[in-house]
A and B are shown apart, each in its own frame.
Chain A
């Protein structure tokens, strides 16, 4: 996992319609993720550790969201599928590693900071870039809506 002072990267980043991927379900999931990420980061900065809840949310988010995106990419033959899916896989591996560190105990503050920085980087690098790339590609093909 890259150590990264990424909270500055998140800055004022929040979901706006320009980040829409053209799918109502995915957009709703992204909006929720931005909201949660902001909470996690604020919590880490305050040092009031809501880490367990954040980790649990991220487990659910990743499983629900990545599956939907990957199925969509496969269904429409998205050329960037392999790279996009690899980013998802990396996120999950990082999450499980952070989760293990948290479960081992005694490192609440450090895990909290790592989690916040890592999540901030994810929002910038993946959601705002990789997912938007997918959204634009789908939109260019007139693909809209979803389950």
Chain B
């Protein structure tokens, strides 16, 4: 149950793959801090992850706009769902503290969300970009 990027998650767009790897790294650091049980370590890592997610989502959305990606709205909605759900989970953490159950819940959700989004939604974007490239655009 590793919270780690693997080559099977590569979408073939260097900038996006690099950002995904960073996203996974930051997510893992957050989970390790939660498992450590120290609130003072956790707080900055929550920010660290959400800021990077925001940057990455913005970069992807800008790219999608530039290339006229037809499913931009749906993709952006998925990003927004992450923001909302993550914020809710963080609120729950703030209520309950860095307990093993909170750590596990966040681990499960982050691992599942990231792997699923990257291997489906982002993969579709990559396929579109590849098709464009083949058409010489």
Contacts and interface: CB of A to CB of B under 8 A. Distances in A.
Given A89-B99, A89-B100, A96-B35, A103 B105 contact: no
A59 B1 CA distance: 8
Interface stretch (A5-13, A61-69, A134-142): A61-69
A92 B103 contact: yes
Interface residues of B, number: 11
Task: Report, nearest first, the 10 A-B pairs whose CB atoms are least far apart.
Answer: A92-B100, A89-B100, A63-B105, A103-B2, A99-B1, A92-B104, A63-B104, A63-B108, A59-B1, A93-B100
Interface in B1-48: 1-2, 35
A55 interface: yes
A147 interface: no
Nearest to A95: B104
A97 to B, nearest CB: 10
16 contacts: A55-B1, A56-B1, A59-B104, A59-B108, A60-B108, A62-B104, A63-B101, A63-B104, A67-B101, A89-B100, A90-B100, A92-B103, A93-B35, A96-B35, A96-B104, A96-B107
A67 B102 CA distance: 9
Given A63-B108, A92-B104, A96-B103, 10 more contacts: A56-B1, A60-B108, A62-B101, A62-B104, A63-B105, A67-B105, A89-B99, A92-B100, A96-B107, A103-B2
B94 to A, nearest CB: 16
Given A55-B1, A99-B1, A103-B1, A70 B35 contact: no
A69 to B, nearest CB: 10
Interface string B69-80: 000000000000
Contacts of A59: 1, 104, 107-108
Contacts of A93: 35, 100
Contacts, number: 38
Interface of B is mostly: helix
Interface of B: 1-2, 35, 99-101, 103-105, 107-108
Interface of A is mostly: helix
A93 B36 CA distance: 10
A54 to B, nearest CB: 11
Contact of B101 (A55, A56, A60, A66): A66
Contacts of B104: 59, 62-63, 92, 95-96
